[in-house]
Amino acid sequence: MPDKLLPTPAQTVGPFFSFGLCYEGDSQLVPPGSANAIRLHGVVYDGAGHPLPDALLEIRQADADGAIPVVAGSLHRDGHTFTGWGRCGTDPAGHYSFTTLLPGPVAAEAPRFFAVTVFARGLLDRLFTRCYLPQDAALHDSDEVLAALEPERRATLIAEQDGPSSLRFDVHLQGAGETVFLQFPRHADIA
């Protein structure tokens, strides 16, 4: 293996990312109204409890059968291919909303989750988190990340069922209820 290269440092996405990053259909992993479509939505808050009108979320997920899609089509959605990736900027009220499918289990007894990346003006590097499903409560104790968290911190990683086909997942960058954010081993290499 070659010597490690030092990673390029991150910088904030800034206030004007939407004209460069957002595009039509970016948050629609499936067309609205399709069978089994769900809404995954919420609000991104700062440490004063104010919603962020200039945040961006990306999600990555398995398909309904638990398979991880490795297919193109997230930029030009064809209405059929499920690519497992989406992007959504917050609106002036700090709200984001994805139209997608519930992910299936990737492995037996593994609780399902959406991998989530958070960007915002004022946030100097992206944050990773996970959005676990309330339907899998029985499996949460066995999850390595959730099991290590005290109950109130753990709750920040679990979506709330707020309608028959709607999950709510708020993100708190700071303050009471601060979302648990994740660091992966290769990130620690540079710290």
Partner 1 sequence: MTTKLSPAAPDASSQTTITAEIGAAHTAAAGHRGVLLDFAPYRSSLLRHPTKDLRHADPDGVELVAPVFGQGEVDPLEADLTIQRDGEPIGERMVVTGRVLDGDGRPVRRQLVEIWQANAAGRYVHKRDQHPAPIDPAFTGVGRCLTDDDGSYRFVTIKPGPYPWRNHRNAWRPAHIHFSLFGTDFTQRLVTQMYFPGDPLFALDPIYQAIPDQGDRDRLVATYDHDLSEHEWLLGYRWDIVLTGSHATWREDDQDA
Under rule CB under 8 A, which residues in 157-186 are in contact with partner 1? 173-175, 178-186
One-letter amino acid identity for 26? Answer: D
Residue 7 in the binding site for partner 1 (CB under 8 A) = yes
CA distance 75 to 86: 9
Q: Which letter does DSSP use for residue 140 in this model?
A: H
Which run of H or E residues covers position 161?
strand 160-163
Among the candidate windows 30-38, 59-67, 94-102, 158-166, which touches partner 1 by CB under 8 A? 59-67
CA distance 166 to 32: 13
Candidates 24, 35, 70, 152: give the one binding partner 1 (CB under 8 A).
Answer: 70
Question: How does DSSP assign 26-51, residue by residue?
Answer: TTBSS-TT-TT-EEEEEEEE-TTSPB
Partners of 69 in the β-ladder:
none
Residues numbered 8 to 27 that lie near partner 1 (CB under 8 A) are: 8-21
C-beta of 92: minimal distance to partner 1 in Å? 10
**Residue with Cβ nearer partner 1 (24 or 164):** 24
Residue 101 in the binding site for partner 1 (CB under 8 A) = no
Candidates 42, 84, 89, 94: give the one binding partner 1 (CB under 8 A).
Answer: 84
